[in-house]
Amino acid sequence: MSSTLSKLTQHASIAANAAETEWRVMHLTEVVALAEEAIERAVADMRGDGCSWAKIGVALGVSKQAAQQRYGRASGDLMVAQRDVADGVGVEQCP
């Protein structure tokens, strides 16, 4: 009987650990999503300030091509480029 009780206790402990792990994964996924949104906004702000993709890549720790491929559309890069051309603004005015 004590063997059965021990097995039940062990299974309950494993289930509790699994539930806790699942909860951590769910909440960390939310944190990652919020961080990604914040990064997208920051990249859009950098582009709006005239930063080059090279400078953004350095800030992200990736190549300029990787930065542009990942965040180019999210940052409204086409709009920024069109506005810069219309205003005669250089690309590298980033603070």
pLDDT tens digits, 50-86: 999 999 999 999 999 999 999 997 656 555 554 554 4
Give, in order, the Cα–Cα distances in Å from 59 to each of 1, 41, 46.
62, 14, 10
79/64 Cα distance (integer angstroms): 19
pLDDT tens digits, 28-46: 899 999 999 999 999 999 9
Residue ranges of the domains in the chain?
2-87
Which own/partner contact pairs does 72-80 have at CB distance under 8 Å and 24+ positions apart? 74/40, 74/43, 74/44, 75/40, 75/43, 75/44, 75/46, 75/47, 76/44, 76/47, 77/47, 80/47, 80/48
